[in-house]
Chain A
């Protein structure tokens, strides 16, 4: 036993929970050394390419590979007949063909894949494949599909009196266009055949284990022969939850016996992943003369496209969150996911909560106008709070500071009037106005999002943590399969380990499938669930250390680890970790689950389906050139409750980035699909916000602890995306007086041309 000393004499740990340490992958990323999935290479590597359907719907009468195979440098050309295992895959339903066999159901559906020595050779070979298609009339209207019974899922929610009446009634029909995640790092990966007949896949994904399960199934291999390693991920936002080139690259690698890399170009990327569901939403809100909601009736149709993907879960979110963060005693809600021949839709940040927020927040503004109330005031009067009951009957048992978030954005000082720099007018550097025909408006919105997976899903994460002495210094190794997609999860895992084990040096191992599943980097869940798993594993390691000490020095009650030592509750050191550990590491693996959720009643939509609710509010200020239909967002103020900011800098990054994506949906982002065909699959024609489009943002972060969550945290990533869209549109309405029932708002909506 060493001489007692306080932990401060050796320095308290920095970079723990609540700090914002520099991200461990940051230096590699700013120097260009970070290996993204598209940067990988291997000796003898081939390049893969995909042939995709040019039709939204067609029968395949035959495929002739002769010309493709004859091209020098081509090593393999594969079709559906070459898929050795299950022919189809899917997140919830295995309905999506690896390669189309008899029929194609959307434009861009993969039909054949090629491996060649050079990527251009592979592309040219794909172009030489002759497919004999018999085009069929595509189903492209979601309501028509609904009428025909082509439905992935219908979720009804019934609460209170279905026939309630109210003094003031407003109704509206709202539409949301198809948004694309538009991550910058294209779908890509490297598949390497292994000596055991299996395959190693280096891949950018959101969930290694769900990929592994689907890839193994399609390859007809046992799961343990398909090993996945997370390569650098260039953004995700939901688009990497489904498979893209995973099975294709593995098929080509196993067929050729050589490493195969596949990298989508931007155009192919628009066809290579699911999108945000377009929505058609009919709302009717009834309120009393004071503006208190009496009922909400809603009929929501989401276009799921050709395959299921995660549409069933998206529909459930739209249904259960579809009246917003408000107390509504009577609800008649029906949400549907339709099957069409449009591009498949699935996960995108906000996941069903984005579309409905545009609907219910537009309605709240309409109700405010009908009653002559201020838009913030009508929301405050109906704001849910802790103890409020959702339309599903679930009681909101955590903090729900809805009114306070609204007050925070309302009370922010108004942004300054334009300075006179012509770049600050709508049109900006295009120099289209010097202020004439420009009007300013302010709008508000607030949204609600569930955090973690819902409806009884067994949602867990796994962490392996080892504490050992390396070079005379205690070091923690944290290993999970959790996907760092840019959000800062690697930083957060290290922070938790530092705090729990009082050790400065933490290494987060690369994520792979040699450790148990971490679940998906989606649903704003990884800080909660993988954070919980890392904390649990660290606590087990601490207990292991104390048990060793206890075996030598008696009971270890109240002891903890800090500053590389075992200390008492008051911080007096009783042992050095070096002594306790010696050459023998302490390692523990823990699976961790949040509290259980429950399925929704299929007739009434009642049930405690969600784990945690999260809220963010926005105030948007816009200048609109009403002659040209140009909008410049001047400023956005955001307020969000995050429970506990594990990494304040990363929290701000999520709020800024999410808000910008919502702005994009409000003003510019739409994948235009006509007769089932995508018209703008490029960054020339599908616009995402540039630094000229995104304004300065002020952010208020509340930290109201959720007693159920690790450290009291609340998922952060999605809420800011949800309400910025309706806030921007509300501001444009305030400036122009136009009704604006569809996003993105196009210039022609503002000039009277439409």
Chain B
């Protein structure tokens, strides 16, 4: 089947989609956007977290066909006011919240969503919001630092227009 949706601000189409394919597979293997990650593919790890019509979802739990006519924003679509890094991406980089980086794309989207909802979260708020995102490298301490630090930065005005940066990774 054919699936048409807006991805990171661009209208995209994929042909020959098998109905059993997930949104994660659609993004990674059909649209050339491997930013969302395939760590468990059963909704336990949060590595594939993307926005679907503005709500964070595990892309592995959404059928590719369900994205028809909808708006998807993945980590590749997040960007700062100058077209550079979003504040969350910047904070993760500076704080040392990135080691192997496999959990990072999902966490960036989840934190981006948290800070859009709660501008100055408490530590307990942060932990509750990120409980669905597994990280095996950092022990979460630097991730906590990164979220606190990102919350203290001005929000990225351009995050709503993700098309300001090309979507393809390679």
Contact = CB atoms under 8 A, between A and B. Distances in A.
A26 B102 CA distance: 11
Interface in B70-117: 74-76, 78, 85, 89-90, 92-94, 96, 98-105, 108
A233 B100 contact: yes
Contact of A696 (B39, B98, B128, B141): B141
A585 interface: no
Contacts of B132: 690
Interface string B128-156: 10111111111111111000000000000
Contacts of B32: 41
Contacts, number: 186
B100 A235 contact: yes
B34 A39 contact: yes
A265 B89 contact: no
A186 B39 contact: yes
B124 interface: yes
Per DSSP, are chain A's interface residues mostly helix, strand or loop, or mixed? Answer: loop
A23 B44 CA distance: 28
B140 A234 contact: no
Point out which of A22, A30, A696 has the most chain B C-beta atoms below 10 A from its C-beta.
A30
A234 B137 CA distance: 9
B96 A183 contact: no
A32 B124 contact: no
A211 to B, nearest CB: 18
B34 A32 contact: yes
Contacts of A22: 93-94
B147 to A, nearest CB: 10
A657 B138 contact: yes
A39 B27 CA distance: 11
Interface in A644-669: 649-650, 652-653, 655-661
A51 interface: no
B108 A692 contact: no
A423 B92 CA distance: 25
What is the size category of the interface that chain A forms with chain B?
Answer: 35 or more
Query: Which one of B28, B36, B140 has the greatest number of beta carbons of chain A within 10 Å?
Result: B140
Interface in B51-78: 74-76, 78
Interface string A24-35: 011111111111
B96 A652 contact: yes
Interface stretch (A151-159, A522-530, A681-689, A730-738): A681-689
B13 interface: no
Contacts of B144: 691, 696
A120 B20 contact: yes
Contacts of A655: 139
Contacts of B96: 20, 649-650, 652-653
A283 interface: no
Contacts of B126: 691
Contacts of A696: 141, 144
Given A27-B85, A30-B89, A184 B100 contact: yes
Interface stretch (A398-406, A483-491, A540-548): A483-491
B76 A234 contact: no
B142 A656 contact: yes
Given A235-B137, A266-B42, A692-B127, A653 B142 contact: yes
Interface residues of B, number: 60
A694 interface: yes
A684 B44 contact: yes
B64 to A, nearest CB: 12
Given A38-B38, A234-B102, A429-B131, A30 B108 contact: yes
A31 B32 CA distance: 14
A300 to B, nearest CB: 27
B131 to A, nearest CB: 5
Contacts of B18: 118, 120
Nearest to B125: A423
Given A26-B93, A184-B134, A486-B101, A33 B44 contact: no
Contact of B169 (A32, A38, A236, A652): A32
B139 A697 contact: yes
Prevailing SS type, chain B contact patch: loop
A232 interface: yes
B102 A36 contact: yes
Contact of B134 (A263, A421, A690): A690
A388 B144 CA distance: 40
Of A25, A423, A652, A656, most buried by chain B (CB within 10 Å of CB) is A656
B39 A184 contact: yes
Interface in A213-267: 232-237, 263, 265-266
A231 to B, nearest CB: 12
B23 interface: no
Given A184-B47, A657-B99, A32 B134 contact: no
A185 interface: yes
Contacts of B74: 32
A33 B143 CA distance: 20
B39 A694 contact: no
Given A31-B35, A32-B169, A185 B102 contact: yes
Contact of B42 (A28, A36, A421, A682): A682
Contact of B35 (A32, A657, A658): A32
A486 B103 CA distance: 11
Contact of B131 (A38, A39, A684, A691): A691
A488 B138 CA distance: 12
B148 to A, nearest CB: 12
B26 to A, nearest CB: 13
A529 B107 CA distance: 33
A690 B136 contact: no
A656 B131 contact: no
Given A183-B100, A683-B40, A656 B134 contact: no
A668 B38 CA distance: 23
B85 A30 contact: yes
A683 B41 CA distance: 10
Interface in A593-642: none
Contacts of A237: 136
B158 to A, nearest CB: 14
Contact of B99 (A118, A263, A653, A661): A653
A661 to B, nearest CB: 8
B101 A25 contact: yes
Contacts of A35: 34, 169-170
Nearest to B75: A32
B105 A26 contact: no
B40 A682 contact: yes
B140 A29 contact: no
B49 to A, nearest CB: 11
Nearest to B29: A41
Contacts of B131: 429, 690-692
Nearest to B165: A31
27 contacts: A20-B96, A30-B75, A33-B76, A35-B169, A35-B170, A183-B100, A184-B134, A185-B37, A234-B37, A234-B100, A234-B101, A235-B137, A421-B124, A424-B124, A429-B131, A653-B137, A653-B138, A655-B139, A656-B138, A659-B139, A683-B40, A684-B44, A690-B134, A691-B126, A691-B144, A692-B131, A694-B139
Interface of A: 20, 22-23, 25-36, 38-39, 41, 118, 120, 181-186, 232-237, 263, 265-266, 421, 423-424, 429, 485-488, 649-650, 652-653, 655-661, 682-684, 688, 690-692, 694, 696-697
Given A657-B138, A688-B134, 9 more contacts: A22-B93, A26-B93, A30-B85, A185-B37, A234-B102, A235-B99, A486-B101, A652-B142, A688-B136
The 5 closest A-B pairs by CB, nearest first: A32-B35, A486-B100, A29-B101, A656-B139, A234-B102
